[in-house]
Structures are given as structure tokens and as C-alpha cells.
């Protein structure tokens, strides 16, 4: 049989897990909220970012990774994060929480402004080593996700897909989302060939994601 395209990433071995644990055990601090490209912090270290539709769980994932409750502000209202929020990742780099795309509960001109910034950031940040594109495990990849993926293809930014909220999905629905997602990813050359399945609520996939980030130079 052909190997499954875009399999779920394997569990890290003990050494890789320990590297991830150590990296995220260091203090993480909020650096700044950025509203325009000229406000980005100096590009003097690597960074990874978290992109995805509004409400998919970007900010919650950053909190789960860093073992904090409110470092990144999460909420049930789509459009909660409206700036590009920078957090330190120990001495290594930055974690970047992005505003969502798609529907947002905010005035249209405001949404358009932050969407422009989001696109400029994703295609123009020299030190961005990997974009994690978050996909709700209940739905799989949608058209707006594909648009962002195409932008990342054009910018040659490697992106890795992270399914979120797996605690909320039935097994049959998860299978369906995975199928939709894998079919979509096959069209995108910048897609990293492994997926990560997560629940910020229950902790699934969090140690794995930490070790993945620790392994990015």
C-alpha cells in the first residue's frame, strides 16, 4: 500500500521530548503587540507563528505550549486577537500569535486592516522559520485556509498543519476532516509532510509540538 500522505507526526523520543520541555520551561514573556510592519521587533532570532481562522484556538495553543493560562488572551468571540503578538521563546526565538482570518466579530475596516498586515507578515518576515496553520479538527481545511496556504507557497514559507480541539470531535468526523485536509495539503508545495493533532484543553499533542519547535533552527 502507498504510505498515507501527511501522516500524524510520530511521538518524540525521550531526548526530543526533553529538549521541548526544557525550551518551554524557560520564562515566556509578552514582548509587544504589533499593528504595522515597521513595528515588528528586530529580526535578530528565529520565530514561528500560529495562523488560522478566527476562533480556531491559536492563542489557546500558545497558552498550552507555555503552560500559562492568560499569556495570550483567548476568548469565545472570533476576532479576539487583533494585533501580531510577540512572545519570547527562552533565548531561542519568538512565538508569534496572529490575528485570525475569515469571519471576525469586529468592524469591517478594522478586519481589513489586520488582514492586510497578516498577509504582509506571512510573506515578508525574514526570520519566520515555520508557520503553524491551525485547522479545526471538526471541519478540516476550508477555502480561506487554502488561500493562506497558497500565500505561504508563494512566499516559500514552510507551514505545518495543526489540527485543534480534537477533544471536541467524534472519531468518524476526525477521519473525514483528515481526509479533506490531506487532499488539500497535497496541492501545496510549502506544506510540511506531517500533521500534529492537538487539544489545548486536554493537552494532547502539546509535548510533541514543543519538541517540533525545539528542533527548528
Ligand X SMILES: Nc1nc2c(ncn2[C@@H]2O[C@H](COP(=O)(O)OP(=O)(O)OP(=O)(O)O)[C@@H](O)[C@H]2O)c(=O)[nH]1
Query: Pairing state of beta strands 46-52 and 128-136?
Result: parallel
Sheet holding 128-136, edge to edge: 30-34, 84-89, 93-97, 46-52, 128-136, 159-164, 196-197
Nearest Cα neighbor of 79 from 109, 51, 111 is 111
User: From the CB of 167, what's the least distance to ligand X, in Å?
Assistant: 5
User: From the CB of 58, what's the least distance to ligand X, in Å?
Assistant: 4
User: From the CB of 158, what's the least distance to ligand X, in Å?
Assistant: 21
Binds 160: which of ligand X, Mg ion, none (CB < 5-8 Å by kind): none
Rank residues 88 and 211 by Cβ distance to Mg ion and give the closer one. Answer: 88
User: From the CB of 168, what's the least distance to ligand X, in Å?
Assistant: 5
Binds 52: which of ligand X, Mg ion, none (CB < 5-8 Å by kind): ligand X
User: From the CB of 121, what's the least distance to ligand X, in Å?
Assistant: 14
Instruction: Please identify the residue of the shown chain whose CB is closest to the bound Mg ion.
Output: 81
User: Which three cell numbers, joined as nine digits, stand for 104?
Assistant: 471576525
What residues have CB less than 8 Å from 215, skipping those under 6 apart?
16, 19
3-class DSSP state of 49: strand
Contacting positions for ligand X (CB under 6 A) = 52, 54-60, 74-76, 78-81, 99-100, 164-165, 167-168, 199-201
User: Which three cell numbers, joined as nine digits, stand for 137?
Assistant: 479538527
Rank residues 58 and 139 by Cβ distance to Mg ion and give the closer one. Answer: 58
Rank residues 80 and 182 by Cβ distance to Mg ion and give the closer one. Answer: 80
Phi, psi (5° rounding) for residue 15? -65, -45
What is the distance between the alpha carbons of residues 144 and 164, in angstroms, rounded to a whole number? 16
Q: Which of 59, 88, 164, 177 binds Mg ion (CB under 5 A)?
A: 59
Rank residues 166 and 212 by Cβ distance to ligand X and give the closer one. Answer: 166
Binds 165: which of ligand X, Mg ion, none (CB < 5-8 Å by kind): ligand X
Q: Give, as ranges, the residues between 64 and 93 that touch Mg ion (CB under 5 A).
A: 80-81
**CB burial class (10 A; 0-12, 13-18, 19+) of residue 148?**
buried
Q: Give, as ranges, the residues between 196 and 215 that touch Mg ion (CB under 5 A).
A: none
Whether the Cβ atoms of residue 200 and residue 162 lie closer than 8 Å to each other: no
Residues that bind Mg ion (CB under 5 A): 58-59, 80-81
Amino acid at each position: 500500500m502507498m504510505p498515507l500522505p501527511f501522516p500524524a507526526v510520530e511521538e518524540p523520543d525521550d531526548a526530543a521530548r526533553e529538549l521541548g520541555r526544557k525550551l518551554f520551561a524557560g520564562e515566556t514573556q509578552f514582548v509587544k503587540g504589533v499593528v504595522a510592519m515597521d513595528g515588528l521587533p528586530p529580526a535578530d532570532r528565529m520565530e514561528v507563528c500560529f495562523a488560522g481562522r478566527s476562533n480556531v484556538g491559536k492563542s489557546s495553543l500558545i497558552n498550552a505550549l507555555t503552560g500559562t493560562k492568560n499569556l495570550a488572551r483567548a476568548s469565545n468571540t472570533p476576532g479576539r486577537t487583533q494585533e501580531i503578538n510577540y512572545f519570547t521563546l527562552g533565548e531561542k526565538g519568538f512565538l508569534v500569535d496572529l490575528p485570525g482570518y475569515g469571519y471576525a466579530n469586529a468592524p469591517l475596516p478594522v478586519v481589513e486592516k489586520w488582514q492586510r498586515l497578516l498577509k504582509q507578515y506571512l510573506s515578508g518576515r525574514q526570520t519566520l522559520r515555520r508557520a503553524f496553520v491551525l485547522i479545526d479538527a471538526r471541519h478540516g481545511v476550508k477555502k480561506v485556509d487554502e488561500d493562506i496556504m497558497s500565500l505561504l507557497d508563494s512566499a516559500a514559507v514552510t507551514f505545518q498543519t495543526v489540527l485543534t480541539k480534537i477533544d471536541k470531535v467524534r472519531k468518524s468526523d476526525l477521519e473525514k476532516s483528515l481526509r479533506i485536509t490531506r487532499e488539500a495539503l497535497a496541492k501545496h508545495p510549502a506544506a510540511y509532510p506531517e500533521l500534529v493533532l492537538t487539544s489545548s484543553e486536554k493537552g494532547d499533542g502539546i509535548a510533541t509540538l514543543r519538541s517540533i519547535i525545539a528542533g527548528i533552527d
